[in-house]
Amino acid sequence: YYSVISPEGCAAILWKDETRVPEAAEALKLTAKNLTELGLIDDVVPEPLGGAHRDPSFVYKSLADKIDEHLEELSQLDWGTLPDRRREKFRRIGALEGRFPVI
Pair 44, 58: CB distance under 8 Å: no
Kindly report, residue by residue over 16-74, the tens digit of the pLDDT.
Answer: 999 999 999 889 988 888 888 888 888 999 999 999 999 999 999 999 999 999 999 99
In degrees and rounded to multiples of 5, residue 6 shows phi and psi of: -80, 160
Q: What span, in angstroms and rounded, lies between the C-alpha atoms of 66 and 60?
A: 10
**What sign does the CA torsion over 60, 61, 64, 69 have?**
negative
- Please state the pTM of the whole predicted model: 0.65
Q: What is the pLDDT of residues 1-16, one digit of tens each?
A: 668 899 999 999 999 9
Measuring CA to CA, which residue among 60, 57, 55 is closest to residue 45? 60
76-103 pLDDT, tens digit each: 988 888 999 889 888 887 766 655 454 4
Closest listed residue to residue 45, CA positions, set 1, 36, 28, 26: 36
